[in-house]
């Protein structure tokens, strides 16, 4: 999937489209009274970065939840249509370094990519490693680790949110492969955690569904493109992710 063929991944929920303008940034400072920009913030500092999922409703709810429910200081950056496959379009490794300069001394980083990475990998010499070619998984794993080193240096606590089950058959199979890489690389990395959201948004067989039961009611959790999340899906996923993040951060030294 080249840059010109990513149009089908740019469809987001109405709420996500309103919340996202491409590259977004926001710093939420807990413990600062209104109008007092000099007040000392309370709580741990968390950097949240990723693609359209983070640029949209999921990222917004996660940012607000960490701040309002747990008193964390949060800083979010999202870029639609981005990932680790096409650094010629948007280089997340360089961006990670910039974000750490803009938001120094973070205690943890949360990242989410994948939907735009189920394609060939653009190499520095302008050559490609196609999806089905030997070496794709090894090169993508290398990029995951390079990004992790940049966004969470010195083995800072890191959380990598996996991709959800997909409504598009080919993408469904591909994100499973990508999730396997995320899971494996985070498992061997100190202070890293892969957060699996597959079952949160799937049916009882682990397959795609656009509706799940929430508080006794069937709610639509996916957007019409079969990729992104509805507001209800974003809220449901955010609660799961935030619970994992808070459990680890609240017990860490």
In a domain, 207, yes or no: yes
In a domain, 33, yes or no: no
**pLDDT for 8-62, tens place per residue?**
334 433 344 434 434 555 544 444 444 444 444 458 999 999 999 999 999 999 9
Distance CA 101, CA 132 (A): 37
In a domain, 121, yes or no: yes
Percent of the chain with pLDDT over 70: 83
Distance CA 40, CA 236 (A): 32
* pTM beyond cutoff 0.95: no
Q: What is the mean pLDDT of the chain?
A: 87
In a domain, 75, yes or no: yes
Given a cut of 60, whether residue 126 has pLDDT beyond it is yes
Closest residue by Cα to residue 196 from 159, 246, 249: 159
In a domain, 36, yes or no: no
Note the pLDDT of residue 43: 84
Look up the CATH number of the domain holding residue 136.
3.40.50.1110
Are 16 and 56 within 8 A, CB to CB? Answer: yes
Distance CA 42, CA 44 (A): 7
Is the backbone of residue 59 left (phi > 0), alpha (psi -120 to 50) or beta? alpha
Percent of the chain with pLDDT over 90: 81
In a domain, 200, yes or no: yes
Q: Distance from CA of residue 99 to its chain's centroid?
A: 15
Residue-number span of the structural domain to which 184 is assigned: 3-28+41-251
In a domain, 231, yes or no: yes
**pLDDT for 136-171, tens place per residue?**
999 999 999 999 999 999 999 999 999 999 999 999
In a domain, 34, yes or no: no
Number of domains making up the chain: 1
């Amino acid at each position: 999937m080249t840059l010109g063929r990513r149009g089908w991944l740019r469809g987001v929920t109405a709420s996500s489209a309103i919340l996202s303008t491409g590259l977004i940034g926001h710093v939420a400072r807990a413990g600062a009274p209104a109008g007092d920009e000099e007040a000392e913030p309370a709580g741990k500092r968390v950097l949240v970065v990723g693609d359209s999922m983070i640029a949209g409703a999921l990222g917004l709810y996660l940012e607000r939840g960490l701040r309002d429910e747990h008193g964390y200081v949060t800083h979010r950056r999202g870029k639609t249509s981005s990932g680790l496959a096409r650094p010629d379009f948007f280089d997340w490794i360089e961006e990670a370094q910039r974000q750490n300069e803009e938001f120094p001394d973070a205690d943890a980083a949360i990242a989410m990519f994948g939907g735009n990475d189920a394609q060939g990998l653009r190499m520095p010499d302008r050559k490609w490693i196609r999806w089905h070619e030997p070496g794709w998984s090894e090169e993508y794993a290398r990029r995951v680790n390079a990004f992790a080193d940049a966004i969470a240096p010195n083995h800072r606590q890191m959380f990598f949110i996996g991709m959800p089950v997909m409504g598009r058959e080919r993408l469904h199979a591909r994100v499973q492969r990508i999730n396997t890489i995320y899971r494996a690389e985070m498992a061997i990395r100190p202070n890293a955690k892969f957060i699996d959201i597959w079952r949160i948004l799937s049916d009882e067989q682990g397959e795609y569904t656009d509706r799940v039961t929430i508080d006794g009611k069937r709610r639509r959790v996916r957007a019409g493109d079969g990729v992104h999340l509805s507001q209800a899906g974003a809220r449901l996923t955010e609660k799961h992710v935030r619970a994992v993040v808070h459990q680890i951060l609240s017990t860490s030294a």
